[in-house]
Structure 1
Amino acid sequence: MTQDNNNGSDARRVDSEQIDLIDIVVQLWRGKVTIGICIIVAILVAAGYLFIAKEKWTSTAIISQPDTAQIATYSNALNILYGTTAPNVSDLQTRVVDRFNSAFSALAESLNNQEKPEKLTIEPVVKTEKVPLQITYQGQTAEGAQQQLAKYIQQVDEQIAKEIDVDLKDNIALQIDTLGDSLKTQEKVAQEQKDLRIKQIQEALKFAEQANITKPQVQQTQDVTQDTMFLLGSDALNSMIQNESTRPLVFSPAYFQTKQTLLDIQNLKIDPTTIHAYRYVMKPDLPVYRDSPKRALTLVLAVLLGGMIGAGVVLGRNAIRSYRPKQ
């Protein structure tokens, strides 16, 4: 008997739940006009938003370190300036692209801090590798985003080239001063050596005159030392003094190597337009799909939101009507 009562109670509960669901569906169907109006209003609002909302398009470019030819001027200049101590091409490629990355990051930060921020980003394609680098720019039109991204890349590239040009000119001026000082020092040392040689011959001449030696007293001149130079005789010593006075300075091979390096540096000409800090892997693309607003997604959300609001209005209104008689 108890079991039958429980079964009857469960059946009534199920029937009650089914009746409630059906009632909700019926209420919604009867209020379909209200729901439809809410959906239409939501669609109109979404359409207005789509009409006034600013479009956002993202152009993307991928760059890597420059080719050897793109930094050949820079590399050759450093080789002339520093010789064997100059960095190799691989190191220069890494340094230049790192310099480009830093300058571009600074530009992106400054653009983001403007009154009207611009979204410009640069980051490695592979997080664990320095290159290649992916650069993106978000604009209001597809063409505008593409052109502006190419403009910013060229702007930073020209900035790096000018900075390198300034650095090279500073280094050239420094090296010219250093090599010039080195040549002056070597010339001074050579002059002092010449003066010392003349003094030594003059001292030997005094001894020869005091000893009344006018003719050479030795057969082999290569055996003559500083102490025995007077044995060459006063005639020979006078002739040597005259020759030494007019004789040009004697320099070591290092002097001429220094002079050649100085001439190479003085004739060094840098053209910043031939220096580039990057190489395109992918040029700025023309975006096909805009980032926002998404028309299809916006309209779908408008329909769903309008339907939910309409259903809430219908159910709420019916609930209020059915609640008043009970009071």
Structure 2
Amino acid sequence: MFFNAFIAEIRQKYKLLVLITIAFLVVGISVGVNTEDKWTSKSLLKSPTYNQTSSLFSALKALSSVGNNSVAPLTLDYVFEEFLSEVTSIDNKRDYLQSIGLEASSSQVDKIIKVIVTADKKLVEVSFISTSALEAQEKLKGYLSHVSSKINDEFIEYTQNSVNSIQKSLIIKSDILEKTASYRLESEKEKLKFASEITKKSGIKKPIIDPGLDMNLPIALGSEVINSQLKEYQINSYNVFRNDFHVKSRLDVLKSINIDSIDIEPFRYQIKPELPEYKTSPNLKKYTILALLLSMVVSVTIIIYGIRNTIICKLK
């Protein structure tokens, strides 16, 4: 009985059912055609090796020796943590997307560039979603390069600031030593002038003691030696009391540090950006099948509702 009623209802409303099926197919095909396929490229990253960061650590080691360990030591884990901080930054994601001509809201940005960090912060998965497999792979590489470049610039700036700070400190020390030497030279000149006057009045011309024994007793050297020494101090452009050689040598080492040579890679690939082999969104075929299924559900619902109304009318 139900089967006959079902067939009768289909015959009665077949035009409506066909229209519903066509309508669902049109909508499904339209959505499928207008929906871009999405491909996801993924990569897995971990802490860098020493070779990838050697230019930075070599510069910092030289700075540490010059600045008496005034430069805070860095580790590979610290470099990777800085990378994690930057690669997860929504500002960096947005900046990169804008640089390649993509405008996206904050929620869309995190959907396009996904970053998953493990609890121990030893590994991070970075993925990029795009409309083609090759584009997803290339843009993922581009984002990682974008972040790496920013990290490198930050460490260059950190190193340059350290150089400037140490250099400023050494220049101040050099100035102090130079002033101290200048004051001491003037003091020695005055002492020799005073001793020269005394020896002249006393008639002491020749040394009473060996001139090489003690310059702290200038009167005993006689006026000839005293005046000779005083003349040397007055005409010699070099200050014999200057003792800033260690400062000058450190400044020379600072000048030899080539900040521009710093070029690090703040991460190491465990899995390089892969070329996706499958799409991550329904294609036209899937939308068509979904449209058919929905049209069938609606059609069956209409038929059952019609059978119900027919039964109710007969009972009345």
Please report the TM-score for the alignment, with normalisation by the length of structure 1. Answer: 0.76
CA contact (8 A) 1:59 1:136 kept: yes
Residues 258-303 of structure 1 show CA distances to partners (whole Å, capped at 9, x for unaligned) of: 2122122223323367333222222211112211126676556445
Q: Assess, with a 3 A threshold, how the Cα gap between structure 1 residues 60 and 26 changes in structure 2: closer, same or farther.
A: farther
- Give the C-alpha shift of residue 225 in structure 1: 7.2
Gaps of 5+ in 2: none
Which residue in the other structure is 2:159 paired with? 168
CA contact (8 A) 1:28 1:311 kept: no
Describe the SS at the equivalent of 1:61. strand
- Give the C-alpha shift of residue 312 in structure 1: 1.2
CA contact (8 A) 1:57 1:142 kept: yes
- Give the C-alpha shift of residue 32 in structure 1: 6.5
- Give the C-alpha shift of residue 136 in structure 1: 1.0
1:292 maps to amino acid: S
Describe the SS at the equivalent of 1:290. coil
- Give the C-alpha shift of residue 80 in structure 1: 2.6
CA contact (8 A) 1:146 1:286 kept: yes
CA contact (8 A) 2:47 2:268 kept: yes
Which residue in the other structure is 1:108 paired with? 93
Q: Assess, with a 3 A threshold, how the Cα gap between structure 1 residues 27 and 295 changes in structure 2: closer, same or farther.
A: farther
Q: Assess, with a 3 A threshold, how the Cα gap between structure 1 residues 55 and 199 changes in structure 2: closer, same or farther.
A: same
CA contact (8 A) 2:208 2:222 kept: yes
Confirm or deny that 1:62 pairs with 2:44: yes
Which residue in the other structure is 2:311 paired with? 322
Residues 120-165 of structure 1 show CA distances to partners (whole Å, capped at 9, x for unaligned) of: 12231x2x22232111111112111111111111122223223333
- Aligned 1:28-177 pairs, distance under 5 A: 28=6, 37=18, 42=24, 45-83=27-65, 84-88=69-73, 91-104=74-87, 105=89, 106-108=91-93, 111=97, 114-115=103-104, 117-118=108-109, 119-124=112-117, 126=118, 128-177=119-168
RMSD value over aligned CA atoms?
Answer: 3.3
What percentage of aligned pairs have identical amino acids?
20
2:77 maps to amino acid: T
1:203 aligned to 194, 198, 205, which one?
A: 194
- Give the C-alpha shift of residue 28 in structure 1: 4.4
Q: Assess, with a 3 A threshold, how the Cα gap between structure 1 residues 159 and 221 changes in structure 2: closer, same or farther.
A: closer
Which residue in the other structure is 1:7 paired with? none
2:56 maps to amino acid: Y
- Give the C-alpha shift of residue 317 in structure 1: 0.7
Which residue in the other structure is 2:258 paired with? 269
Describe the SS at the equivalent of 2:40. strand
Please report the TM-score for the alignment, with normalisation by the length of structure 2. Answer: 0.78
Residues 7-65 of structure 1 show CA distances to partners (whole Å, capped at 9, x for unaligned) of: xxxxxxxxxxxxxxxx5455446657759856676455434432222222111112223
CA contact (8 A) 1:161 1:272 kept: no
Equivalences, count: 298
Residues 160-193 of structure 1 show CA distances to partners (whole Å, capped at 9, x for unaligned) of: 2233334433443444343233222212212222
Query: Following the alignment from structure 1 to structure 2, what is the Cα–Cα distance between the partners of residues 30 and 257?
Result: 107
1:249 maps to amino acid: N
Q: Which moved more, 1:69-78 or 1:133-142?
A: 69-78
Which residue in the other structure is 1:194 paired with? 185
Confirm or deny that 1:285 pairs with 2:274: yes
Gaps of 5+ in 1: 1-22
